[in-house]
Amino acid sequence: MLLKISCRLPPGHFKKYIDDDSIVPTEVVLLNYQEWEYTSIGVDPTFEELVDYVNKHNASLTIINGSIENSPLLYDSTNERYKNIKSVIYWPTYFLSTWYYKCKGETNTAHLSEAELVKEYNQEFNYLYMSLNNKPHPHRCLQFDLLAKSDLLKDGAVTWNSWFNAEGRKLETSFYYPFKYWKPELLILDDTDAYWGWGTKLPNEIKNSFMQLVNETAGHVIIFSEKVLFPLFFNKLFLVSGAVNYHKELEKLGFVLYDDVFDYSFDSEPNIETRYTMITDNLEKLRGYSTEKLNELYTLSLPKIEHNKRNLINISSHTKFFPNYIVDLCENNPNFIDDMDCYHFYKFIKSIEEGN
């Protein structure tokens, strides 16, 4: 039996399997490649209820996860309760590749050459940086607070949606974090839909921002979400406020760093507040630069920007970046997986490889 379980699915979606004793699975597969946090997958069933289910039938549980290889396990592997968890399989390029095609199809850029795309999305730099923030996760709050401490918010094109599930913008959720330097307020650019984080409609200010400060999905686990896809796709310079060694892991995927512009010594700093302070220091250094100097730095970085775009396209064009387990499911178990988006995406990429 194959289950696709995500925290974005409605409660009760899989209850029919849990309650049906006539179904006796030998293996349950948790397709959680759109998330890093597979132990909080919704309320019905919870992760623990799923563990109860596989233990009841003595079935194995395989987890497909969207974070990087060797991410810390989110369960106690020494606990006998979790003995039926077979393995956690990682798919770190899922968002990069799927959202490359999503951006290509939805941003009205398909008709532009790469040179035209560079020109269109890097016009006069009226803003030092852009930073788009949807949900007020603690690590984003920390980075925003440090920007306020350095009085850098006025230099950027920034959003603060304080988005709370289906309830929309709820500023009070931002006050769960003990801000020291910033009093939270809703910040919206260009009337952009609050769902910017789950869609491809970006504020027009992206075209006039020198770089993008990406506040990633998580601050302690590395996942390459659609948030870092945007600067790669639109040929922007960027830094990421994420987990320790985030940029090092990008290099492992073939991307190059813009070390002519940024000091990446922060990347290996284990303390998150110190690390994010060092990221903020990068912006402080650039704040004093003239528009001419920023243009000069962008031009200097253009060969690396172009390399990273080519690398993104390469990752998005080959099935070798799919986990072997997913490839096997798609090739040998189509009856189980043909209603899953990963199956259709695999077939799409395979057709590209075959020149169709």
Query: What pLDDT score was predicted for residue 338?
Result: 63
**3-state class of 85 per DSSP?**
strand
**Can you give the pLDDT at residue 40?**
73
Task: Write down the domain spans for the chain.
Answer: 2-91, 94-315
How many Cβ atoms are within 10 Å of 128's Cβ, its own excluded?
21
Containing H/E element for 61? strand 60-65
Give the ranges where the chain is alpha helix by DSSP (H): 15-19, 47-57, 94-106, 114-120, 138-149, 226-233, 246-252, 272-287, 291-315, 324-332, 334-337, 341-353
pLDDT tens digits for 96-148?
999 999 998 888 888 899 999 999 999 999 999 999 998 899 999 999 999 99
Interval 19-47: pLDDT, tens: 777 878 888 888 888 888 888 755 557 78
Judged by DSSP in three states, 66 sits in coil
Residue in this structure with the two tokens 């020198």, named with its chain if needed: 210
Strand-pair partners of 65: 32, 90
149-180 pLDDT, tens digit per residue, is 999 999 999 999 887 766 677 788 888 899 99
Task: Collect all residues with Cβ–Cβ distance below 8 Å to 350 and sequence separation of at least 6.
Answer: 319
At 327, list the tokens.
């490839």
Report the percentage of the chain scoring pLDDT > 90: 64
What per-residue confidence (pLDDT) applies to 164?
72
Burial state string for 136-148 with b = 16 or more CB within 10 A and e = fewer than 16: bbebbbbbbbbbb
pLDDT at 197: 46
CA distance 47 to 44: 9
Domain 94-315 belongs to what architecture? 3-Layer(aba) Sandwich (3.40)
pLDDT tens digit string along 223-241?
A: 999 999 999 999 999 999 9
- The pTM of the full predicted model, rounded to 2 decimals, is 0.91
- For the chain, the average pLDDT equals 88
Query: Phi and psi of 238, rounded to 5°?
Result: -160, 155
Q: How many CB atoms lie within 10 A of CB 72?
A: 7
